[in-house]
Every structure is written in structure tokens, then in C-alpha cells.
């Protein structure tokens, strides 16, 4: 999971927020025994879940829970939640909802009584103004145009190296059970 997902989170964070400066990561193998295509059992040798907290260059704190073993109990298979002082946004694969600070309910903590607030009600859908194509398809099309038509391609070898770097540092953090700084890569 760490090797699979950390490169993705690196370019998401770098391009939407700020560069990753440090990471604390815990990996886990939730399903220690698996079955192959013929049903034969074998011991799992790879992590299938990871939990990472990262600090970014602008002071943002990012937290990711990734798991192939969990069951979906949210609006979409993938959701990203961004919280700020003035509001929050939740982004799924196809929909975005926001909640402004003024629309945020003010609950009263009472573990002895059922919740009286519909926490979903204060969120508003962001209208679709553009129909987006599959992101992986669009990225491959950009790459093919780059290879055959010499069109620009925004992700170079350095972008790939940053993704691999974050995966390696996340693994080190897990192994050493500590925060690890993410140094700048030099050309």
C-alpha cells in the first residue's frame, strides 16, 4: 500500500497545496494470509494498509488512511476532505460538497443522548460546470501526445522521483517508528 499510494499522494499534495516536508507513517498487513487464483493459501508479504500524517511547506497538515482491507462507509470509494477556518470541502471521485463556517452546526457533546443534528444537511453540492473525462485516460493522452507530437508534459522524471522518495521515506518512518524529513531532491 505504501509503495502504491504514496507517489500518488505526493503529486496531489505538491500540486494542490504545498510540497511535503516531513512524514510519519504506519503500515500494516491486515490480512496476513491470502489466496491465489487457484485458491491456494499463501502468507502475505506486503502491507495492505497505511496511515500517514504529513506536514507541508505552508504549514498544512495532511493525513491519509489507505486500506485495501477496509469497507467503504462514506459517500464514495475515495474521498478527500480539506478543512479550513472558513469552511471545508469533501471531494469524491465525481462529486464535491462544501460547508461554510456559517453553515456548520454547533453540536453539544452528550454521549448519553442520540444525535439530534443531521450532519449531512449543512453541506452543499458544488454544481458540475464541466464534464471531466477519466483522469488516468487524460494523463495517458497527454503522455502519448508528448511522445509523438512533442507536446508539453507536466510530469517529468523529477516528479516521479519525488513520488518514489516519499514512498521510501514513508517505509523508513514505519520501520524506524518516527517522523522523517523529506529533503529537496537535486537535479
Residue 68: give its domain's CATH number.
3.30.360.10
CA–CA dist 127, 94 (Å, integer): 11
Average pLDDT score, the chain: 94
| Mean pLDDT on 136-154 | 92
Report pLDDT for 22: 98
For 18-32, write each residue's pLDDT tens digit.
Answer: 999 999 999 999 999
pLDDT confidence of 155, banded at 50, 70, 90? confident
In a domain, 158, yes or no: yes
Sign of torsion over alpha carbons 108, 109, 114, 118: positive
CA–CA dist 100, 88 (Å, integer): 6
pTM here is 0.88
Burial of 35-54, coded b for 16+ CB within 10 Å and e otherwise, reads eeeeeeeeeeeebbbbbbeb
**Helix 2-16 vs helix 157-176: crossing angle, to nearest 10:** 120
Report pLDDT for 130: 87
In a domain, 152, yes or no: yes
Report pLDDT for 11: 92
Q: Which residues pair with residue 64 across a beta bridge?
A: 52
In a domain, 150, yes or no: yes
Report pLDDT for 154: 86
CA–CA dist 185, 187 (Å, integer): 7
In a domain, 65, yes or no: yes
In a domain, 187, yes or no: no
Nearest to 10 by CA among 185, 134, 176, 140: 185
Q: Which residues contact 185 (CB under 8 A, 6 or more apart)?
A: 158, 161, 162, 165
Q: How many C-beta atoms surround the C-beta of residue 55 within 10 A?
A: 18
In a domain, 31, yes or no: yes
In a domain, 173, yes or no: yes
pLDDT confidence of 145, banded at 50, 70, 90? very high
In a domain, 186, yes or no: no
**Residues of the chain with pLDDT > 70: what percent?**
100
Instruction: Evaluate if residue 135 carries a pLDDT over 90.
Output: no
The residue range of the domain holding 46 is 2-181
Question: Is the model more confident about 161 or about 94?
Answer: 161
Instruction: Evaluate if residue 70 carries a pLDDT over 90.
Output: no
- Count of domains for the chain: 1
Amino acid at each position: 500500500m505504501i509503495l502504491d499510494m504514496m507517489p500518488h499522494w505526493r503529486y496531489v499534495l505538491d500540486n494542490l497545496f504545498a510540497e511535503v516536508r516531513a512524514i510519519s507513517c504506519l503500515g500494516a498487513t491486515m490480512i496476513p494470509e491470502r489466496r491465489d487464483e487457484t485458491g491456494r493459501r499463501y502468507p502475505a508479504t506486503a502491507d495492505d494498509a497505511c496511515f500517514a500524517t504529513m506536514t507541508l511547506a505552508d504549514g498544512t497538515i495532511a493525513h491519509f488512511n489507505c486500506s485495501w482491507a477496509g469497507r467503504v462507509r462514506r459517500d464514495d470509494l475515495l474521498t478527500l476532505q480539506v478543512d479550513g477556518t472558513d469552511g471545508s470541502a469533501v471531494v469524491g471521485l465525481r462529486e464535491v460538497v462544501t460547508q461554510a463556517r456559517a453553515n456548520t452546526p454547533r453540536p453539544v457533546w452528550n454521549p448519553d443522548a442520540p444525535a439530534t443534528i443531521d450532519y449531512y444537511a449543512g453541506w452543499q453540492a458544488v454544481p458540475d460546470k464541466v464534464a471531466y473525462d477519466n483522469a488516468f485516460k487524460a494523463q495517458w493522452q497527454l503522455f502519448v501526445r508528448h511522445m509523438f507530437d512533442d507536446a508539453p508534459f507536466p510530469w517529468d522524471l523529477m516528479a516521479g522521483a519525488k513520488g518514489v522518495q516519499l514512498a521510501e521515506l514513508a517505509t523508513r518512518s514505519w520501520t524506524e517508528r518516527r517522523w522523517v524529513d523529506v529533503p529537496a531532491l537535486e537535479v
